[in-house]
Amino acid sequence: ADCSNKIRRSQVITKISDVVRELVDNAIDANAHSVQILLDNYGLKKIEVKDNGHGIPHEDMYSLFQGGYTSKLHSDSHLSCDDKYGFRGEALSAICSFSGIVVTSKRQTDPAAKNFVLSKDGTVTSEKVVPCGNGTVFVVRDLFKDFPVRNKHSSEPKVAKTQLKDIEFYLKCLGICNPSIYFSLYHNGNLIWSKPAVKNTEQALTTVLGVGFAKNLSSCLSAEVFPDGNEKSWKGSLNLFVPQKPVDMKNMGFTSSKMTMIFVNRRLVVVDEYQNLIKRYAIGSADRPTQQEQRKFPLSVFMIDVPPSEVDFNRD
Ligand code: ADP
Ligand code: MG
């Protein structure tokens, strides 16, 4: 069992960006309004993720890193209001086995913040009271240090730089899907990217993709989704965003300018050129941008929301 646990963990975390994604997902799941990501040496030396979310009960620190612990599964899987990014309870134990973790947390009801040092097997080796506001700070040091192959691969300058780009792209996607959250990304003390808290998706698109975008949405439509024509099954929503002016897609790091992004329940599920998407998914004809619109407004963003019980993000 110990061995199979190790194998399972090693698959959750294979790259630096995996760690950042998991920690940031957790911060959002904790209803944070502000998420700060600080990397040293591309995250190999240090990854710090700071949030002002609801915090972690101090007594939970003793089970959190052992694997299979999650506070996010409920028996009643209702509509997207309690839709979370995490659900497997695997990430923290996996990150722990590959690095040195120190976590500080304070809930609103806690008299003081506490700081916990974890060992590789997920046990708490020390705890102390420290000054810190409400929320949680994860510090992950020396990722993959004891894993020569992954360490060597991740340290290659080209790989490390690509990882940083991937992290930035992932955060931008989260920024689009989570308008009310303030994000900032620092590398070696320098601000790489940030996004203020805004009111809605249009504003989030504008701040993330650059001015000239969604300020005057030329097309924003909603549709109700009834699979199999059976109205009783479930209801979702589809929003399509097409910019007023052509957007410089370098903001998202795309080389092609004709991109379409499809988000399902606040997750980016596909990004590709629109023509390829039609070929691959035979997107319905009614409300999609016409070829002319595609040429004029090369970027389009689809936001699809369905009940969490109707999607399985473990499957491709
Ligand atoms: P999952 O996200 O699938 O539940 P994780 O291993 O990522 O599994 O996290 C385990 C648990 O730790 C979460 O269910 C949550 O209760 C708690 N947790 C992790 N990070 C945070 C955070 N930043 N704020 C509050 N709780 C957190
Ligand atoms: Mg998680």
Euclidean distance between the first and final Cα of the chain, in Å?
28
Asked whether residue 116 falls in the same domain as residue 44, the answer is yes
Domain that holds residue 219: 206-310
When pLDDT is averaged across residues 188-203 and rounded to a whole number, the result is 94
| Per-residue pLDDT reduced to its tens digit, 44-95 | 999 999 999 999 999 999 999 988 778 876 654 443 345 788 877 889 999 9
Which protein residue's CA is at the shortest distance from atom 21 of ligand 1?
A: 26
In the prediction, which pLDDT does 217 show?
A: 52
* Rounded average pLDDT over 32-44: 97
Same domain, 79 and 213: no
ipTM over 0.95: yes
90 Cα to the center of ligand 2, angstroms: 7
Nearest ligand 1 atom to alpha carbon 88: 3
Q: For the chain, list the strands marked E by DSSP.
A: 34-40, 46-51, 100-106, 113-118, 124-130, 135-141, 182-187, 190-195, 219-225, 236-242, 259-264, 267-273, 300-305
pTM of the model: 0.88
Which CATH number goes with the domain that contains 96? 3.30.565.10
Residue 200, in any domain of the structure: no
* Cβ of residue 87 lying under 6 Å from some atom of ligand 1: yes
- Which ligand ends up closest to the CA of 94? 1
In the chain, the percentage of residues whose pLDDT exceeds 90 is 48
189 and 224 together in one domain: no
Residue 302 pLDDT class (50, 70, 90 cuts) = confident
The answer to whether residues 41 and 147 belong to one domain is yes
